Structure 1
């Protein structure tokens, strides 16, 4: 969640350093994300999201473009995301829509930043597990990869265990479901 990370020293200290066309910045503008997604049918939106957000680069739109304009129809779905998955996810979003997925991570932080927890002077002492793919575009947010790899994160979360998946993307739990479940169950057994 970049709006929290920018409060951490050494990570995103200046939100203005984040590219203006980054999906987070676009979708924090009320109505912009839903308008962007609303140009397409639900199945196309889900296909676009999984194709765009499985890459290792930050999804950044050029000036005058929207995030969904980054989609290239010649790029196939990731091999671990099947047409059956696409159909199932699409049918679920047909029922629920995209309002909630846009509201929680993007619009709530912009609308009421005072309600966010300020983590600057907090240390999380509880045991934690971070499972992340080394090809997750999120690591490209300014300072994030260094923060995690330099182990500076351990000063904020001293009981953190980090598991990297060398070929993992932003959807590592979908790429490697058995391995992720095994890690989660092992972590829970160890700490419950």
Structure 2
């Protein structure tokens, strides 16, 4: 199934952005925007279904993720940069208007694209993040909450750095598949909340893990920790 999906690189604002795409587009186009720890690969099943329904499906690796280029100064990346990248992708493919699907933090550039460029958007579908302000009050959250930990410069880098990329991705998917939000105790780090004996969720295979790990081996976690957490 994944073999049906084609891959291209587009030069956007001095960066090489990787996009996966499939479908003719007789019925229009659908732009899929991933979050963390996602990548274009997260949308492979939906892309095929959309293509079979007559649409062109496009799923980029956002800048600094997967096979897309790294900005010279990743920590200066803004939400506006992500929206500009999405617009540039549409322009490069000569797509005037698109349906946008965003998951996790990918919902925010999807919302921003629709709000600030409504003439380019036919509709928006989001998963995991409702339409709320990004300026959230975190004062009431426990100290060990994963977002607070990952917002702290250097802490996630040290935590992740104890393991190889495959183990880090594996642990994050295990933690994010649970009902409970990942919260570490005092003296504990987020990566300590699952060990190598903890099984993967049933819907996530070793083959999937290999695909994600290979892409994060390429990109690293520098920009993914900045965007969205910092």
TM-score, with structure 2 as normaliser? 0.41
Write 1 or 2 for the structure with the bigger share of strand. 2
More helix by share: 1
Normalising by structure 1, we get a TM-score of: 0.49
